[in-house]
């Protein structure tokens, strides 16, 4: 007869995973990049630290397409979100100097969109801050059953069809929304983040409150 795992063992592993994810988020927020040749901390370009600006375009943040501009007809409806950065199309400067500039982009079925969400969308695409408002983890997970963003650290859930409002978990406020527009067939920024960017948990970062 095989050994049975104690029920609490699974919970322990999940808790440990959340601790690791939370720690990685904080390291990514606080530690400056090191120059490969010298090992000295690099000072980010001030333009890269600015949040998305009006008339920026969104580019893929990760993967094989990293740095490429995102088209307005990209993404299938109600599929998992992708991460993006804003880029100044004139200079090519990608605003990736702060994790708080991360954007999650998703296409939502317009029939499910709230009125306010629709006013900020372009061709069904909506964009939000990619940093959870609870402890600052990246909102990387997707609940395909209920069509919601989900934070991997403490399982907060946000509804992208309704302003990314909190629909589950400990997150204290919705993800800030980024208005979009069409710029020559690409996903462009139509306005500043609407709402609060950052996170609540005290003692982890100076950016949250």
Domain that holds residue 163: 9-18+42-189
Record the tokens describing residue 23, joined without a space: 């720690």
Residue 75: CATH number of its domain: 2.102.10.10
Position 206 in a domain = no
Whether 36 is in a domain gets the answer: no
Q: Can you spell out the DSSP letters for 17-67?
A: HHHHHHHHHHHHHHPPPB-TTT-PBPPPPHHHHSPP-TT-EEEE-SSTTTT
Q: Which of 35, 47, 34 is nearest to 92 (CA)?
A: 47
What total of structural domains would you count in the chain? 1
- Tell me the per-residue pLDDT of 13-37, one tens digit each, with 9 for 90 and over: 444 444 444 444 443 443 344 445 5
Whether 113 maps to a domain, the answer reads yes
Per-residue model confidence as pLDDT tens digits over 84-125: 999 999 999 999 999 999 999 999 999 999 999 999 999 999
Residue 143 lies in a domain: yes
Does residue 106 lie in a domain region?
Answer: yes
24 in a structural domain: no
């Amino acid at each position: 007869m095989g050994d049975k795992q104690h029920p609490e063992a699974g919970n322990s592993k999940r808790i440990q995973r959340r601790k690791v994810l939370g720690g990685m988020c904080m390291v990514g927020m606080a530690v400056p990049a090191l120059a490969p040749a010298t090992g000295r901390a690099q000072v980010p370009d001030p333009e890269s630290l600015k949040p998305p600006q009006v008339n920026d375009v969104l580019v893929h943040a990760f993967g094989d397409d990293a740095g490429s501009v995102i088209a307005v007809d990209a993404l299938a409806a109600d599929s998992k979100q992708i991460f993006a950065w804003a880029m100044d199309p004139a200079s090519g400067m990608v605003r990736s100097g702060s994790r708080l500039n991360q954007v999650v982009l998703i296409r939502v079925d317009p029939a499910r969109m709230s009125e306010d969400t629709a006013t900020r969308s372009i061709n069904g695409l909506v964009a939000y801050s990619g940093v959870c408002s609870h402890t600052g983890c990246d909102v990387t997970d997707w609940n395909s059953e209920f069509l919601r963003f989900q934070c991997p650290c403490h399982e907060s859930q946000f509804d992208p069809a309704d302003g990314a409002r909190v629909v589950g978990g400990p997150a204290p406020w919705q993800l800030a929304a980024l208005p979009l527009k069409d710029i020559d067939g690409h996903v462009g920024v139509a306005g500043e983040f609407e709402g609060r960017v950052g996170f609540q948990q005290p003692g982890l970062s100076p950016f949250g409150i």
